[in-house]
Amino acid sequence: MPRLLGVDIPSEKKTFYSLQYLYGVGPQVARELCHKAGVDPEGMAKNLHEDELARLASLMDKDYVVEGQLRRQVAQNISRLKDIGSYRGVRHRRGLPVRGQRTRTNARTRKGPKKTVAGKKGVKDLK
């Protein structure tokens, strides 16, 4: 498996798809990287030479924010939102959806498993 920026990229896939395993590299950036580095995007990743890997790595360091640096940047942005007490920061702090989604139903990914409230349903008044 070839290593790029300390991350193993799949060798049995085309270079274009293998680059997308790096955090912060999508289809557009992968295409640009292959073009700028002079690497065949349709060629297999296992066939990349050391000099091609070095060119790709230097281009990523110079022109793009990827992997650990990008993760730190995103974490700092979220931390800043929490510190200033913005609406989005409060939503992050409470673990609720941040981008305006409804929460009455369909927010299970952010809210976690259901927490059943006892005695809410089926309470009958005797008159």
**Residue range of the domain that includes 99:** 69-111
Domain match, 81 and 99 both: yes
User: Is 55 a member of any domain?
Assistant: yes
Q: pLDDT tens digits for 40-90?
A: 999 998 898 889 999 999 999 999 998 889 999 999 999 999 999 999 999
Domain match, 34 and 13 both: yes
pLDDT mean across residues, the chain: 89
Domain match, 58 and 74 both: no
127: confidence class by pLDDT, cuts 50, 70, 90 = low
At 125 the pLDDT is 62
Domain match, 12 and 28 both: yes
The domain total for the chain is: 2
User: Is 117 a member of any domain?
Assistant: no
The better pLDDT of the pair 121, 109 is held by: 109
Domain match, 58 and 95 both: no
**φ, ψ dihedrals at 98, nearest 5°:** -100, -25
